A = this chain, B = another copy of it.
């Protein structure tokens, strides 16, 4: 396999944690990695291959302008490496908008897909992740795009989580067909037609609600990028608030601290299962290449997972499946 191109300069903890995570992916998982960025700042790379890039797109930079102007940025170079056949996939914990723009610029959009979408795997206790998309690529959507999101989400759920016939739901505020705002009702009408589900091998289950996302009742949840991003961040906030509250509960007094020690193992498993760092980041679906976008706060573990997921998606030929499905339409 060609190496996974890691944007070593992207994210709040770049480059140190990013390089550490990439090194671990190489040494522990045997995944070939190429680091992209200012190698002088990398520290010990453990002998990983490097692609030099002199510029860094800041986390809060305007994506379109930055990507157009900073052709020697680590992000644009990482995407370029995939385009030029030097890398099999790109991974970045940097500016999300700039990562999308770089991927669009260098990898290009799959013909038949109107807009790429960000797919997020949401952890579900004791079960397979639920795929949520669009989690923020398109703040404004047209109803027909959600049908494309549904189709891409099915391919992703099948390739990543081995779900043969993914159950697809539309995020709304009631389960009945008539619930939601006008946009959602228009989406429902399109998604309720049997053709797309038949050709995607999906099971269309109609509207789902926010409370269904973290359950085993649905595999793929489609929504516009605004609602999806609010949902994602609400989940992250709830997770963080509850885990924080739990930590204080096991630090109430000597007795609770003793109990906390006894529980260390099960609680660690719980956090590992639910923490965003374990999911390996978001995938940008709809571009001609594997593009993993990790949380800006990613540490080394999150980065190792992101590289692992990128490599898995290359091996399982997800992009080829997306291309084949789009060309069928």
Which of B212, B229, B230, B262 makes the CB contact (< 8 A) with A259?
Answer: B262
- B233 engages A211 (CB within 8 Å): yes
Q: How many copies does the complex hold?
A: 2
- A239 engages B237 (CB within 8 Å): no
CB-defined contacts of A227 to chain B, threshold 8 Å: 226-227, 230
- A249 engages B266 (CB within 8 Å): yes
CB-defined contacts of A211 to chain B, threshold 8 Å: 233-234, 236-237, 240
- B238 engages A242 (CB within 8 Å): yes
A263 within 8 A of B: yes
Shortest beta-carbon distance, A233 to chain B, in Å? 3
Decide yes or no: A248 and B125 within 8 Å by CB, A210-B230, A211-B236, A263-B259 being known contacts. yes
- B266 engages A250 (CB within 8 Å): yes
CB-defined contacts of A258 to chain B, threshold 8 Å: 259, 262
Shortest beta-carbon distance, A328 to chain B, in Å? 31
Size of the A side of the interface (Cβ < 8 Å), in residues, is 63
CB-defined contacts of A269 to chain B, threshold 8 Å: 249
| Stretch of A45-53, A150-158, A180-188, A280-288 on the interface side | A180-188
Interface of A is mostly: helix
Counting chain B CB atoms within 10 Å of each CB, the highest count among A176, A237, A252, A258 belongs to: A237
What 0/1 readout, one digit per residue, does chain A (114-127) give for beta carbons within 8 Å of chain B? 00000000001110
Chain A residues close to B by CB (< 8 Å)? 60, 124-126, 136, 139-140, 171-173, 176, 179-182, 184, 209-215, 224-227, 229-246, 248-250, 252, 255-256, 258-260, 262-263, 265-267, 269-270, 273-274
